[in-house]
Amino acid sequence: MQLKECKGVTFVEGGVCAAKGFLANGIHCGLAHKALTADPDTTTQTSLPPQSGQKRDLAMIFSEKPCAAAAMYTTNKMQAAPLQVTRKHLRDGSARAVIVNSVNANACVADGQEKAEKMCELAAQALSLRPEDILVASTGVIGQSLPIEPIAAAVPELAKGLSHEGNAAAVEAIMTTDTHIKEVAVQFHAGGVTCTLGGMLKGSGMIHPNMATTLTFLTTDCAIESSLLQGALREIVGLTLNRVSVDGDTSTNDMVCILANGEAGNREITKENEDYENFRDALYAVLMNLARMMARDGEGATKLIECLCEGAADDRTAEIVGKSVITSSLFKTMIFGEDANVGRVLCAIGYAPVDVDPSKVDVTISSAKGTLPMCRQGLVLDFSEEKAKAILGEEELLVHLSLGMGGGNAVVWGCDLTYDYVRINGDYRS
């Protein structure tokens, strides 16, 4: 999938290892082996070659220097234990490493916090750090006790194998039903110094905009004060990860975190100046492209839908209308079936919980095969079904909504709803 260009940044390779001073690794510790026996359909959908015939399931990211750190967490009230531990460890706004497992969510179980704390202790021991320096995350099946013994046995090897080229192994280790790796890195300038920001993400299902909608890990060698780091993360997540929906379900384990070690050598960003704006633009470039990757790799998805809503009373109204469309099951199945039924779009606009003037609504759908005006001033237009089929047959579609009520606008992302989504989730754990 082609990256979408953004102002002021240059795309580079390396993901979470692109920034100076960051290492990563991912290995198979045995959690994936247990899942492979129980659920082959959900543990073999990786485009990466398996390690010794078995998927990696344990990852680590490490900074050679102390970091300012920030995070955001799912709004799901059944929040998983690793998030509670990470929140506690981030009270001082700093961290040095992240440890994360796939296969098992360590959520809604009696020993969840104990296991999450133990993962931090194991990582700290292997890295000669304090447990409070470690952030922890888990993803996978909810409601099953996390086996700590395979993790304990593997952490020394995991830490020993940390490298500046370990990003690919780390990405594989966090994947569950993902079918493609998701990582992006960019370079930008702060105070005349070249800085780098990179990230990796897992997410294909149980994705809906009520926070981060995924597990996302970001690293940067830019020096930036922790409160500004948190503010930038909160704002950009709101414009990117919070504008993606695959299926309307918000996970118990969603988290995004960022580590900033200052190794680029720029003067620390301590106020919202030009350097801060450059950092913010870089963060947007990474998270926006990761958001697009996540939507395109939605469980069973065949198409990426980008919805631009403009002409709203304000940006928030535009976001609400756009989300109403991309989360509509009827609209999503319309896109899958390549059936140009604009009534699905108008219906979703009409029940969005905001004021809309039907007589001013325009709808256009476009792709690499052309542009199809479907509605003007609330009235459905005649169009060629053959042309519509060709346009909707492409893998990337742009749905353009114009409300004619003001200057507000927003972009949101989604995917189609297919038979495979039901197949994947109908036997996720059995």
Lookup: tokens for 394: 């492409």
| Residue 385: both structure tokens together | 């079904």
Whole-angstrom distance, CA of residue 262 vs CA of residue 68:
9
Report the 3 state secondary structure along 264-324. CCCCCECCCCHHHHHHHHHHHHHHHHHHHHHHHCCCCCCCEEEEEEEEECCHHHHHHHHHH
Q: How far apart are the first and last CA of the chain?
A: 32
- Rounded CA-CA distance 63/268 in Å is 17
Coil, strand, or helix at residue 145?
coil
Identify each DSSP E strand in 74-147 by its residue range.
Answer: 94-101, 134-138
> Do 48 and 172 touch, CB atoms closer than 8 A?
yes
> Which has the closest alpha carbon to 339: 417, 283, 428, 247?
417
- Selecting among 213, 219, 220, 327, the annotated active-site residue is 213
Return the structure tokens found at 309: 């809503």
Would you call 219 a catalytic residue per the annotation? no
Class of residue 315 by CB neighbours under 10 A (exposed 0-12, middle 13-18, buried 19+): middle
CB-CB contact of 86 with 257 (8 Å): yes
271 CB burial (10 A radius; 0-12, 13-18, 19+): exposed
Residue 286 β-bridge partners = none
Active-site residues: which are they? 213
